[in-house]
Amino acid sequence: MSTLTRADLTVHTPAQGRAPWWRQAVIYQVYPRSFADGDGDGIGDLPGITARLDHLAALGVDAVWLSPFYRSPQADAGYDVADYRAVDPLFGTLADADALLARARELGLRVIVDLVPNHTSDEHEWFAAALAAGPGSPERARYIFREGGGETGEEPPNNWESVFGGPAWTRVRDRADAPGSPWAEDGQWYLHLFDSKQPDLDWGNPEVRAELEDVLRFWLDRGVDGFRVDVAHGLVKAPGLPDWAGHVSMVEGAEDADDTDPESPALRSPEGHHAHPPMFDQEGVHEIYRDWHRVLAEYPGDRVLVAEAWVDPIERLARYVRADEMHQAFNFAFLVSPWHAPELRDVIARSYRANDAVGAPTTWVLSNHDVVRHASRLGLARTGKGPNGIGATDPQPDAELGLRRARAATLLMLGLPGSAYLYQGEELGLPEHTELPDEARQDPAFFRTGGVERGRDGCRVPLPWEQDAPGFGFSPTGRTWLPQPPEWADLAADAQTGRPGSTLELYREALRLRAGLGLGLGSMSWSAEHATSPDVVAFVTTGAAEVLVLTNLGDADVALPGGWSALVASGPLGSGTDGDAVTVPVDTTVWARRI
């Protein structure tokens, strides 16, 4: 280690000046249909969430991000919005949304809502008007309608694939509602990067820009603290919609993207395709976020924009959080990192470098409603992003190993300065439901890939609150829209409360310490002793006090360095007897303070 200087070891120093709340916030994602059900129909709702908000206050998070609860036919679980200003009756009413915001405020929790600007539902009044008005109309100009290719327009306008599988274009006359309608003979196609029920808006149209800005104001006026922006990198497409042969999958981005130059959005591969997907990360998106930044800045209280953008490399993603654009972007590179010390160190260091260069906080995330839960992902033979869902006949994760690593990964993440995102249920150590029957599945990705991708339902199973209640207390009737595994009784929130060593108590303790020690705003340096270790990630973070965070990813115990005393650990530590050092077992993280 003698070759490493102090400067080599320093990874991050916090930005100077006033720190708005979101620079260090721990933000908890609520997926409304699966959090808590108030009315007994088996689908979670806003009153259900409000009634359980004290669980989140007791957990110690700073803010809640709510996935969409707007009026929607639920073709993509609410990411298909039919009315951006209305609450879907499944979830309640606008008054229920106001009540939720008021209760959150009472509990000191901020609230971020989801904004889905790339596409609407095909049941949005604009799309209905576009179908009815026909080709060439101003109504169609709000979306991306085009004539087809081939002799008679029978080919889609280009070769783009939907992220959910199958073509990204649907011909108007092929829609299920075409027979007998005025568009029964209509030969135009419309673009949908996701399901055919999610037509893409045309962001070149000023009417679209004005409308979504108005939607921002609608929710800002109601008191929300910010927006998580869905598919933030997708709004603007390359001019001419050029062919592109790659496939884009969610969270980690394009599988064959080889664009490493952050300033070259239109590199061509040797085959002549855009190496950089022409549907994503186009320069024009940044102007939109500069406009939105100005809108948020008109409101008091440090409102925040969070980008959901699957953009590689990290330096390119950092362009979304330049000082006059968004405030945060999800760090999916961290989420998809294999359980491997050098790779984790690399992604952590690169994340700080890229975000610090633009003055933005780095964020951390391990799970969300689109990926296999990390308590299962980290128990797979190959760690990393993992498959899109797991089925009963697929290789199964090692549940014990997965949970042990998940707890270690979380404690590592929460020790890192910056802002962290938690996904509902991870504080209970919930695994993925890997044995859902196909009949129960609802994710459009399952249907559009003919079941090749199992889809995301396995991470969306309703939460277990009470071990002895029907449906584990998710709903007053015991109904749940997806079946819960019986083993979840032991994982219910009430079963874990006050149980020493439970995952819930670990999260509570870690969040309490993190806040008390000011870790979110700390500086961060690698521990010299472990800086190039193949097995250990270890760093010292300095907020209100110095804390050593050490994760053992190797296959043998590691000694806790002398001069440090354990504060919290993700699993039992080996006790130092007779002057021997305390040891950190495999797949365990410890936080320690100077003695």
What's the CA gap between 282 and 145, in Å, rounded? 20
Minimum CB distance to ligand NOJ, residue 510 (Å): 26
320 contacts 512 by C-beta, under 8 angstroms: no
Tell the residue number behind the tokens 């709903």, with chain if given.
Answer: 475
The Cα–Cα gap between 441 and 453 comes to 11
Query: Minimum distance between the CB of residue 257 and ligand NOJ, rounded to whole angstroms?
Result: 18
Nearer to ligand NOJ, 308 or 315 (CB): 308
Amino acid identity at 117: P
Please give the Cα distance from 88 to 67 (Å, whole number). Answer: 13
Q: Using the minimum distance from each CB to ligand NOJ, give the nearer residue, 425 or 585.
A: 425
CB of 366 to ligand NOJ, least distance (A): 15
Per CB under 6 A, the list member of 79, 91, 126, 183 interacting with ligand NOJ is 79
Size of the site for ligand NOJ (CB under 6 A): 9
State how far the alpha carbon of 110 is from the alpha carbons of 165, 251, 301, 305, 381, in Å: 36, 25, 10, 13, 38
The residue with its CB nearest to ligand NOJ is 79
> If binding is defined by CB under 6 A, does position 229 make contact with ligand NOJ?
no
Binding to ligand NOJ in span 95-154, by CB under 6 A = 116
Strand order of the sheet with strand 26-30?
328-329, 304-307, 226-229, 110-115, 63-66, 26-30, 419-423, 363-365
- To the nearest whole angstrom, how small is the minimum distance from the Cβ of residue 163 to ligand NOJ? 7
Maximal C-alpha separation, the chain: 86
| Least gap, CB of 307 to ligand NOJ (angstroms) | 11
The DSSP 8-state label assigned to residue 194 in this structure reads S
Q: Which of 370, 426, 427, 457 binds ligand NOJ (CB under 6 A)?
A: 370
> Site residues for ligand NOJ, window 231-260 (CB under 6 A)?
231
Interface pattern 457-496 for ligand NOJ (x via CB under 6 A): ----------------------------------------
279 is a site residue for ligand NOJ (CB under 6 A): no
Task: Give the C-alpha separation, 321 to 272, whole Å.
Answer: 31
- Report which residue type is found at 370: D
β-strands 419-423, 363-365 pairing: parallel
Could you count the other beta carbons within 10 Å of the beta carbon of residue 169? 25
In SS3 terms, 289-345 reads as: HHHHHHHHHCCCCCCEEEECCCCCCHHHHHHHHCCCCCCEECCHHHHCCCCCHHHHH
Please say which residue, 374 or 407, places its beta carbon nearer to ligand NOJ.
374
- 418 forms beta bridges with none
Q: Confirm whether 122 is a catalytic residue.
A: no
Q: Answer yes or no whether residue 194 interacts with ligand NOJ by CB under 6 A.
A: yes
Which residue, 337, 340, 398, 343, is CA-closest to 371?
Answer: 337
Closest CB to ligand NOJ among 219 and 330?
Answer: 330
Query: Binding mask 311-350 vs ligand NOJ (x if CB under 6 A, - otherwise)?
Result: ----------------------------------------
**Which of 231, 304 has the CB closer to ligand NOJ?**
231
Smaller CB separation from ligand NOJ, 52 or 448? 448
Q: Does 453 contact ligand NOJ by CB under 6 A?
A: no
Which of 80, 230, 259, 427 does the annotation list as catalytic?
230
The gap between the terminal CA atoms of the chain, to the nearest Å, is 23
Query: Distance between CA 45 and CA 89 in Å, rounded?
Result: 9
For residues 76 and 139, which CB has a smaller minimum distance to ligand NOJ in the complex?
Answer: 76
CA nearest to 307, candidates 226, 210, 205: 226
Do the Cβ atoms of 328 and 321 come closer than 8 Å?
yes
CB within 8 A of 233, min separation 6: which ones? Answer: 280, 281, 285, 307, 309, 310, 311, 320
Tell me, yes or no, if 343 is annotated catalytic.
no
Question: Does the protein bind ligand NOJ through residue 230 (CB under 6 A)?
Answer: yes
Residues 289-308 that bind ligand NOJ (CB under 6 A): 308
User: Residue 88 or residue 370: which is nearer to ligand NOJ going by CB?
Assistant: 370
Q: Taking the alpha carbons of 421, 425, 426, 431 in that order, is the dihedral positive or negative?
A: negative
Token reading at 377: 């992902």
Classify residue 490 by its DSSP letter. Answer: G
Least gap, CB of 84 to ligand NOJ (angstroms): 13
- Catalytic-labelled residue, pool 221, 255, 271, 298: 298
76 binds ligand NOJ (CB under 6 A): yes
Dihedral-angle region of residue 165 (phi above 0 means left; psi in -120 to 50 means alpha; beta otherwise): left
Contacts of ligand NOJ in 531-590 (CB under 6 A):
none
Nearer to ligand NOJ, 77 or 495 (CB): 77
Q: Which is nearer to ligand NOJ, 229 or 531 (CB)?
A: 229
With binding defined as CB under 6 A, does residue 360 bind ligand NOJ?
no
Smallest distance, ligand NOJ to C-beta of residue 538, A:
33
Cβ of residue 529: shortest distance to ligand NOJ, in angstroms? 40
Q: How far is the CB of 355 from ligand NOJ (least distance, A)?
A: 21
Q: Min. distance of Cβ 231 from ligand NOJ in angstroms?
A: 5
CA-to-CA distance for 23 and 359, rounded, in angstroms? 10
Residues at the contact surface with ligand NOJ, assessed by CB under 6 A: 76, 79, 116, 194, 230-231, 308, 369-370
Residues with catalytic function: 230, 298
